[in-house]
Each structure stands twice: as C-alpha cells, then as structure tokens.
Amino acid sequence: MSRIAALVSGGVDSSVAVHKFITRYPQQKNKVHLYYLKIWLEDELSFLGDCPWEEDLYYVRKIAAQFDIPYTVIPLQKEYQEKIISYTVDELKKGATPSPDIFCNTKIKLGAFLEYIDGADTVITGHYARIYKDDTTRVHLLTAADRVKDQSYFLSMLSEEQITLLTFPLGAMQKFQVREYAQAHALSTMHRKDSQGLCFLGKIKFRDFIREHLGVQEGSIIDERTGKVLGTHEGTWFYTIGQRNGLGLGSGPWYVARKSLEENIIWVQHAERIQEIASHEVFFSNPHWIRKIPPSLKGACFVKIRHGPALVAAQYTLHEERGVASLTESDCGIAEGQYLVFYTPFENKELCKATQYFSSVAPHEESPESPVYECMGAARIFVPQ
C-alpha cells in the first residue's frame, strides 16, 4: 500500500474507519491522506436549508489534527451536476424513482474522485459492508454484520476493479459499537449525529429539491377502487409507488398504487386493499454483474428492492439484457427506476479474515451463526405497460 486515500465526511463512521485502519496498520499511517468531497448542491441551493459542508469541514479539520494526517477538500460540484443531479431529475421527469445513492458510489466516490487525485492503491471508507479476498485473488462484496446499517445495496453497481481498492473497517461492527469505539478513543466526532437523506442533499429536504427543479403541477388524488377524488397533489414526481406518507388524506392509511403523468393523477389504494397492488414478479433490465458475467441464466437467489435489512428469496430468469425475478414474498412498492440487487449465501469458513481483520472489540462483534450474503450485482427495475 503506497498511496492510501481515506474518504471522510466529518461524521463518526468515517472517523472510526480511519482510526481503526491506522491502529491496525501504524506503519502505513504516513501514506494516508484524508479527502472531503465538496458537492455542488450545498452552495447553489443553500437557500433551501442549512448548508452542512462548513460544519462537516470543521469536524474534518479536528479529526485531521487529532490523527495528525493531512486533508484536502476536493470540489466535485461539476461532476455531481453531470453524473448524479441530471440523472435524478431525468428519472423524476419520466415518472421513475431514481436511485442516486447507488451511482454516488460508482460515479463519484470511486469514479470522479479517483480521476481527480490520479488514483490510489487503497480507499478507506466508513461504509457498512465487507470484502473478502479469496485464494484466487478474486474479491467478494459481502453484507455487513449490522443488517440494518448494511450498505451493500448502495455498492452493488461497483466493478470488481473498484471493489479491489476498497477497505471497510466498520464491516464487522454494529452501529452502537462504532459509537462506543469513538467514545473510548475520544474521537472529535463521537457525539455528532448521523446525517440522513440522499448523498447529495445534506440537510436539504428531497421534496424541496424536487420543487426547485421541477416546480409544482397540481393534480388529483383518486381512489383506484371507487374513482372518487380524495384530494390534490403538487406533482406526480413527488411520489413513488407504495408511498404512504405525505398524501394528506383522511380515513387512511392510503398508499400510492400508480401514477399517470399524462393525466397528472395519483391513484391510491387503501391499506385494507394494499395486496391488490402487490406483486411477486419484478422485471429488470441491463443487469450489472460485479464479476461481469451472470452467475447463470436462471437460478435461486436473494434480492433487495430497496436499502434495508430485508432479503427476499427469489427465482430469477435472464434473457439477454432483460429478466424477471419471482419473489417468495409479494411487494407493494415496486417502482420503475428502483434497483433490484442480487445476493447469494456466502459460506466460506475463513470469513473471519474479512470480518475480524480490523476488530478491536471482538469477539462479540458478530455471532458465528449470523448469515452472510455476497452481493452479485444489480439491475434497473422496469414496470411493463
């Protein structure tokens, strides 16, 4: 390891990740450089909410001083505009549900950033995920010990070459252990709250972001069963299939069943009839496989339709660049533009090399019985018309 880049956000996760690395590899500390990625939205749309980047940078400076490691602020506003913001707005215009956090990793953190600094041999991040390198030097992207915080979903569009560069010191830790670790080592970020929301928004609300870019277009909210108008909305792009919150309807709960861009209508279904919009089938296109080729043209797997701890067993079938996954559990929130992420059980007996490598709070970090899954790749969901 001759050039080590550590992506820091000013939060507790990335701070603990760096501290664990330099504690595990003290001889490599003088090769570590901290990088804070400054994004365009925090300046250009600062009037929509508080700008977090100055506060972030305050903590980055404190951590850099505490660790005695240099830091650099990397301006990537232009790259965010071209690669993430434009994609997000385009998807919303089409009535789809964008997945910007997935592309934040592949196009920015492991794309534009590395191009800007002309590469690195190792990249440290505070992601909750694990990497296992087998005897053939192939890498496996694995789920984190903390199933709730697991971020493999957001890493699913990375290439094998990108994953090879990464190291995830938090992969074997539960979130509460990260906090405990920060307090035990008196890190400057130990009491800082976690950030919420999409990668590029900071403290800006996503609804405000949409309103700024797409405006308001009032339309009707209609009960799909009765055809009765229940209320009004400000634009179909504010809603996604399966959404419950933000409808402002009485006698609920109500869920978004479908959207009509042409008619500017949101169709809803009452919770009592929610299974009427649920489906066991998920159609997908243009799959990305971390290993570049699909494991097979059909077979069993586990999938995630969105970030979260739940994995659903499925059978998938591929035909050229399209496929379908048949789920064992129905889902009422399948929306165009979401990403279906594929997993398979990982049963390597030497998993300890991946899970405990950076551990300083073992052995209670993870039970040996905890299931571990390998992320195989992802594909964009489409809804047949």
Look up the CATH number of the domain holding residue 324: 2.40.30.10
Does residue 209 lie within any of the structural domains? no
Whether residues 223 and 167 fall in one domain: no
- 51: annotated active-site residue: no
The reported pLDDT for the residue numbered 350 is: 58
Cα distance between the two ends of the chain: 51
The reported pLDDT for the residue numbered 347 is: 78
The reported pLDDT for the residue numbered 370 is: 73
Whether residues 227 and 306 fall in one domain: no
Whether residues 71 and 220 fall in one domain: no
- What's the domain range around 240? 216-275
The reported pLDDT for the residue numbered 40 is: 56
CA distance 359 to 312: 30
Does residue 189 lie within any of the structural domains? no
Does residue 200 lie within any of the structural domains? no
The reported pLDDT for the residue numbered 366 is: 42
Q: Which portions of the chain are predicted below pLDDT 50?
A: 1, 47-48, 352-368
Q: Give the contacts of 118 (CB within 8 A, at least 6 positions apart).
A: none
Q: Give the contacts of 159 (CB within 8 A, at least 6 positions apart).
A: 106, 290, 292
> Is the Cβ–Cβ distance between 254 and 241 less than 8 Å?
no
Q: Choose one of 275, 290, 311: the last residue of a domain.
A: 275
> Is the Cβ–Cβ distance between 203 and 19 less than 8 Å?
no
> Which candidate, 144, 154, 141, places its Cα nearest to that of 175?
144
Whether residues 147 and 24 fall in one domain: yes
The reported pLDDT for the residue numbered 52 is: 59
- For residue 130, what are the CA distances in angstroms to 38, 72, 133, 147, 170? 26, 26, 10, 12, 8
Cα dihedral: 294, 351, 371, 382 (round 10): -20
Whether residues 241 and 94 fall in one domain: no
The reported pLDDT for the residue numbered 359 is: 36
- Predicted TM-score (pTM) of this structure: 0.90
Q: Which of 104, 301, 332, 375 is catalytic?
A: 104
The total domain count for the chain is 3
CATH number of the domain bearing residue 228: 2.30.30.280
Give per-residue pLDDT as tens, 320-343.
889 999 999 999 999 999 999 999
Whether residues 77 and 23 fall in one domain: yes
- 352: annotated active-site residue: no
Q: Which of 51, 199, 332, 375 is catalytic?
A: 199
Query: Count of alpha carbons within 13 Å of 146, Cβ hemisphere only?
Result: 19
Whether residues 240 and 316 fall in one domain: no
Whether residues 179 and 97 fall in one domain: yes
- Spell 215-231 as b/e; 16+ CB within 10 A means b: eeeebebbbbeeeeebe
Give per-residue pLDDT as tens, 185-223.
999 999 988 876 555 565 667 888 889 889 999 999 999
Residue type present at position 59: Y
